[in-house]
Structure 1
Amino acid sequence: MPGTALFDTVLIANRGEIAVRVIRTLRALGIRSVAVYSDADARARHVREADEAVRIGPAPATESYLSVPALLEAARRTGAQAVHPGYGFLAENAAFARACADAGLVFIGPPADAVDLMGDKIRAKETVKAAGVPVVPGSSGSGLDDEELADAAREIGMPVLLKPSAGGGGKGMRLVHEEALLAEEIAAARREARSSFGDDTLLVERWVQRPRHIEIQVFADRHGNVIHLGERECSLQRRHQKLIEEAPSVLLDEATRTAMGEAAVRAARSCGYEGAGTVEFIVPGPDPDAPAGTAPEAYYFMEMNTRLQVEHPVTELVTGLDLVEWQIRVAAGEPLPLAQEDVRLDGHAVEARICAESVQVLDGSPAFLPSGGTVLRLEEPGGPGVRVDSGLSEGVEVGSAYDPMLAKIIAYGPDRDTALRRLRGALSRTVTLGVQTNAGFLRRLLAHPRVVAGELDTGLVEREAAGFVEPEVPREVYAAAAAVRRAAVTAGGAGPGWRDPFAAGDGWRLGGTPAPLRVPLRVPGHEPVERTVPADAEVSEEAVTVTAVGRRLRFVRAGDWLGRDGDAWEVRDHDPVAAALRAAGGAGGTGSLTAPMPGTVTVVKAQEGDAVRAGDGLLVVEAMKMEHVITAPHDGTVTRIAVRQGSTVAMDEVLAVVEPLTEVAR
């Protein structure tokens, strides 16, 4: 628009990969960027890449990234004219949007009233329903107490989905199959909602069997223009949190795409929207007797996210647009640069979310456990059609204070098969040593026949997850680790002067032929093993190559970490004597319950002396906004509770001890 001036300085009220992403567009527009950081992020990548960075407080988000006064003071000190909230934290906080306006700052997002309206899922459903948008059957009215929620769930019929009214991103959502579990699940959902959003108001909805999750990207300006930029399929999820997103969806034909797009535009108009937003729909699974490729007959509004979405890059790649630039221009008063008829979707894009988590098999089932540590080595992929949005760099400490997402890897191609193939290849070239990530898991997920065929639903990952997780550490990993130990021993004995062969520890013996060297090793979460060093291993500071399982394999390495094909393992030395002493002392024995991840104890249900049954919940540990229930491993008596509510715990720290019942007692 002639006469419209963009901002000179923009403060980014966020961290990690989205802050880096926004900085990139600001730099392209010639706008000065200001980053903010907590003490935990003093060395973070977004801090280094911004034109200026301001400390806003200690590590807890409530004292830094969620502190409105600290953010406004940072904007004042740096002369910022506008604030980009990214996603998460205060991105959908109407009070923050109003505080920015009161301070003379432009909030690069929708009006506060729209944030308020769509942030309340109950009011949002009522509003869009009045605008002719179909909604999922569920509870009506806000402020329902626990008994009223349970009554509404029984009236709807099981199974039902509990959802925080103020929430998003799948946090706090609980799928309940049995009426007997309603009270417990309502309490847990309220606890998570209060922790994540500061509001424990819940609603309950009918659970749609085998649903697909499809969302529409909308954009509106302050001149009355509202358009959509096509859809994204986000059906590959676990715990209601997205793992893989793609654009466009293979499910929709042109007629359905047009109808859903028009419904999304009506939803945006109904709340006086401006800027980038996403209208999310749930689509019931297809009739099993319907021909392949049949478009859905129904779709229901779930919620509207009043912010930029994590998965916006797939829309950018198929439209050729920079959505962050659009946000900035619309916030500066410019009209949308395109009309609906000018929007074109070209090719296909798929995104994988790289999260700090260890995917393990616990009690026969896959478990996604938050992880942390220092990034010792980082290799991010490139190549034709590959894009990486990342907040990582070597030497950065990944803790449990914030969301576990570290980066996004996105692949584009002229068709879906090409995009999937490029993304699988990019994930196999991803190296993050020092922190466990889900990159290898996602690579295997993307090769699943149903994923390749586009036969998706939101429960697929959890149904099929066991097939994407190695229950045991591959033998070749131990072979590579043993070779590294042998090389270290040999190097340790080298040097000028005489060498005592009996002190070398490298298997030397009379006759000159070394004895086979066996090395005791342990990967956290697995039983210790002893392995023989392979004879033809090649070890360097950067990598180790071994022949194992009939193949010659190369691993990258850093410290005790080894990586290959997107997977990573920390292989430690194992001291059987020390382990036996720990077990005898009750700190790691069969009755000890240890923290599966670093985090905070949010609930302590049991007391010392309690009689418990196998599977009873004893404690709850929260990390990266996820809860993990610690359960009794067997029938017995709680003889020790080593923590209390609010305790910060390290991975493998003893939380409680349950003494098993003797046969006589049984």
Structure 2
Amino acid sequence: MTDTRVSETPGPTARPIGRDASPSRPFTCVLVANRGEIARRVFRTLRRLGMRSVAVYTDVDAEAPHVREADHAVRVASYLDVDAVVAAAVLSGAEAVHPGYGFLSENARFARACATAGVVFVGPGVEALEVMGDKIRAKEHVAAHQVPTVPGFSANGLSDVQIAAEAHRAGFPLLVKPSAGGGGKGMTVATGPDDLADALATARRVATAAFGDDTLLLERLLERPRHIEVQVLADAHGTTLSLGERECTLQRRHQKVIEEAPSPVVDAALREALGEAAVAAARSVGYLGAGTVEFLVAGDRLDEPFFIEMNTRLQVEHPVTELVTGIDLVEQQLRVAAGFALDLPEIRLDGHAVEARVYAETPSRGYLPATGTVALWRPGSARVDSAVETGSVVSAHYDPMIAKVIAHGPDRATALARLDAALADTVVLGVDTNVADLRALLADPAVRAGDLDTGLLDRRGTPEVPQPTEGALAAVAARAVSGADAETSGSGSLWHRVGAWRAGGALPARTVFLEDDAGRVHAVAPASSDAVVVGDAEQFWVHADGGSHRLRLVSRRDAAARRRAAAGRAPGAVDPELVAPLPGTVVAVHVADGDSVEAGARLVTIEAMKMEHTVTAPHAGVVRLRTSAGAQVARDAAVATVTPGTGTPTDREPRDSATATASPIPASPIPTSHKETLP
């Protein structure tokens, strides 16, 4: 690994050490200004080091696992409220604030507010936050320090006409992305001049909503690129070093899905070059703590890495680096924040680690976010950093990632196999997830061979709803039958003990009709199974044979009716009523009630969980709107009807659920002894 010790250039003045601090315990109390799995992960290190933990939470998260797990918890109106979070730290007696990632982790104003309040910000200095937090400024800054960057230009201060002229000179395709923020939010692709206006509008809208800044950066879109990042650590005692690279190429909509360390294509020479560039970028802003420098590498030119940005915080995928180096990155962050020098073993890469992000989403619906209550959570046999437990509510208010499953092995093939086995044993019932899709991805020949590029997942398309196995169907059928028997007769009755019977012998096993999420109806005989089943009289969730499924109980009459309806439906027939594919907020209505539209016309755009989805007309016709801008809609709520042909739209009343709230927010948290509420 690249190890640059800069003793001749003293770092910033060491920060004040917490009360009763020692090299093994940098602080006595730390507030984690975040939620979910990253808050719980930081708590784990705090407990090991003997430090008290403080959580912050909103009304939506009042009963979240991270709140119960902390030693103390303080309610705030929003995780983005700088003044409230700093006040929570002061109120709870925390000497330091760990920001996790997202929210305020790269917010220079937050770092200043912490300093003003006498609380240590566990992160880099304000200069690093300001320079690297602006993609345009960061790119210009590191280029002046001999770090190679992707060709492109800033749209700051340019009109759309001027942007179009610059885009023509730069050459298409171009990646349009917000200058502020990160995580791929707002990134769009303009394949040619005709796409540019829509790409600019979308990027600006998301950038304004997510970051309060609609400044854009346009960069050359590299063909079949790989996304490779380098973990850096730096202290105030002259040490800046890299801990090797992570392969983060498997992405969907610029959101990472599977990450690994080390990269399967990086050799010793490239690793050294990447490390030197990353250290140079970090040193250029006097970096302190843990950070990540991200690069793009064209598939056919691995020897030319281009800097794209620096994330001045811990990354979601940091566990793979921890597993191959044996270094607790959170512990090192705390040490540096307290003014101590880094305390590291000899840096070497041991084996291979792979991480899969488990999202609450529905792959068969284009990977749209899903919500609901986790009826059962049981992690597999690997390192699992999770945001949920049995009973947790997954709402539309925050990011849909609910867990990370991370496996380690002596080589890449073993690590991949162990990750697949852990995913197969991961039980999440009650909420749609991408676990089955992750397993399919791990089995993809290109992934197994390490032949990756950032477009691989998008080229795979939208998967179908997985077919339930015979074991899963039989187990649900048995649960349905036993539930029905229990409801119709006492469990101790003679009829319940004897079971189905008639004169001349026992009745044959009854047939149960179950419908899956693809609308397929299965006729099943109940049978015992090792499957895990939860549910009620009508809907069941089952985990069997390494996969999870949702099944609904239907009557024999309904099953027959559905078969007849399917047989009589004209090929290609489309329902004129259009529904919301995900719960969220209607952020744009693109037509007026009564407009005539063509097939493919944009009707409404819905935003939830950092994503936008536009509902389009399936055919030409007249629009009847069922919602309005700013409305909250539930999944499958009607948002519009497109009646084929022209003329007056139907007078049929909209569904009551069209404006249903996506996820109810409790009026106040349930008080517990370790919680406080800020005024």
Which TM-score tier does this pair reach, normalised by the shorter chain?
Answer: 0.7 to 0.9
* Structure 1 stretch displaced more, 268-277 or 16-25: 268-277
- Seen in structure 2, the aligned counterparts of structure 1 residues 636 and 509 have a Cα distance that, compared at 3 Å, is farther
Distance of aligned partners of 1:402 and 1:438 in 2 relative to their CA distance in 1, 3 Å threshold:
same
1:309 corresponding residue in structure 2:
315
Matched, 1:590 2:583: no
CA 1:508 to 1:657, structure 2 compared with 1: closer, same or farther past 3 Å?
Answer: farther
For the 8 Å contact 2:542–2:550, the answer to whether it is kept is yes
Q: CA deviation at 1:164?
A: 0.7
2:609 counterpart residue number: 624
How far off its partner does 1:464 sit? 2.2
Instruction: Say if 2:422 is the partner of 1:426.
Output: yes
Pairing of 1:100-249 with structure 2 (within 5 A): 100-140=114-154, 142-249=156-263
Counterpart selection for 1:319 from 325, 332, 354: 325
Shift of 1:488: 2.0
The corresponding residue for 1:368 is 367
Match of 1:21 in 2: 41
Is 1:351 the equivalent of 2:355?
A: yes
State, as a whole percentage, how many aligned pairs show the same letter. 55
- Deviation at residue 499 of structure 1 after TM alignment: 8.1
Give the alignment partner of residue 485 of structure 2, picking from 490, 498, 515: 490
1:609 maps onto 2:594 in alignment: yes
Offset at residue 95 of structure 1 (A): 0.8
**Contact persistence 1:479–1:532 (CA under 8 A):** no
Q: CA 1:596 to 1:177, structure 2 compared with 1: closer, same or farther past 3 Å?
A: same
**Paired residue secondary structure (1:435):** coil
User: C-alpha separation between the residues in 2 aligned to 1:141 and 1:658?
Assistant: 38
Change (3 A) 1:619 1:509: farther
The structure showing larger relative contact order (alpha-carbon pairs under 8 Å, at least 6 residues apart) is 2
* Cα distance in 2, alignment partners of residues 205 and 633 from structure 1: 34
Kindly report the root-mean-square deviation, in angstroms, between the aligned alpha carbons of the 2 structures.
Answer: 2.8
Deviation readout 1:90-120 (Å, 9 max, x if unpaired): 1011111111111111100011121111011
The alignment covers a number of residue pairs equal to 613
Q: State yes or no: 1:259 paired with 2:244.
A: no
Query: For 1:335-346, what aligned pairs fall within 5 Å after superposition?
Result: 335-338=341-344, 342-346=346-350
Residues 1:9 and 2:29 aligned together: yes
Q: Which amino acid aligns with 2:446?
A: R
**1:389-400 matched pairs, under 5 angstroms:** 389-400=385-396
Q: Distance in 2 between matches of 1:604 and 1:313?
A: 42
The alpha-carbon deviation at position 532 of structure 1 amounts to: 2.4
Looking at structure 2, the residues matched to 500 and 24 of structure 1 have their Cα atoms a distance apart, in angstroms, of 53
Between the aligned partners of 1:176 and 1:508, the Cα distance in structure 2 is 68
Q: Given the superposition, is the C-alpha separation of residues 571 and 37 from structure 1 closer, same or farther in structure 2, using an over 3 Å criterion? A: same
Matched position secondary structure for 1:139 = strand
- The CA distance in 1 between the partners of 2:247 and 2:148, in whole Å, is 19
CA drift at 1:589 = 8.6
Shift of 1:479: 4.7
Superposition deviation, residue 226 in structure 1 = 0.9
Distance (whole Å) between structure 2 residues aligned to residue 281 and residue 496 of structure 1: 64
Q: CA deviation at 1:523?
A: 3.7
Q: Would you say the 8 A contact 2:155–2:216 is kept in 1?
A: no
**8 A Cα contact 1:528 1:574, kept in partner:** no
Q: Map of 1:472-621 to 2, 5 A cutoff? A: 477-495=472-490, 512=505, 514=507, 517-524=510-517, 526-527=518-519, 529=521, 531-534=522-525, 537-538=527-528, 544=529, 554-559=531-536, 560-564=540-544, 567-574=547-554, 590-621=575-606
TM superposition shift of 1:147: 3.2
1:379 aligns with 2:378: yes
The answer as to whether partners of 2:375 and 2:534 remain within 8 angstroms in 1 is no
Q: Secondary structure at the match of 2:367?
A: strand
Deviation of 1:558 after TM superposition, in Å, equals 4.2
Aligned partner of residue 35 in structure 1, secondary structure? strand
Counterpart code for 1:647:
A
User: Is residue 471–residue 545 contact of structure 2 (8 Å, CA) maintained in 1?
Assistant: no
Q: Output the CA distance in 2 between the equivalents of 1:284 and 1:514.
A: 67
Q: Does the 8 Å contact 1:437/1:567 carry over to 2?
A: no
Does the 8 A contact of 2:516 with 2:550 survive in 1? yes
Partner of 1:44: 64
Q: CA deviation at 1:511?
A: 5.2
Quote the Cα distance in structure 1 between the aligned partners of 2:118 and 2:549. 50
CA distance in 1, matches of 2:466, 2:380: 27
Q: Which amino acid aligns with 1:52?
A: H
Instruction: Give the Å deviation of 1:480.
Output: 4.2
Note the C-alpha offset of 1:566.
5.2
Three-state SS of the structure 2 residue aligned to 1:7 is coil
Deviations 1:222-241 (A, max 9, x none): 22321111000000111011
Calculate the TM-score normalised by the size of structure 2.
0.85
Name the TM-score, length of structure 1 as normaliser.
0.87
**Which range moved further: 371-380 or 140-149?**
140-149
Please state how far the C-alpha of 1:148 moved relative to its aligned partner: 3.1
Q: Distance in 1 between matches of 2:52 and 2:287?
A: 27
Relative to 1, partners in 2 of residues 1:246 and 1:469: Cα closer, same or farther, differing over 3 Å?
A: farther
Closer, same or farther in 2 for the Cα pair 1:565/1:436, shift >3 Å?
farther
Go from structure 1 to structure 2 and tell me whether the alpha carbon gap of 1:600 and 1:496 turns closer, same or farther (over 3 Å shift). Answer: closer
1:83 aligns with 97
Out of 475-484 and 602-611, give the one that drifted further: 475-484
8 Å CA contact retained: 1:377, 1:558: no
Partner residue of 2:452? 456
Distance 1:562 1:497 in 2: 27
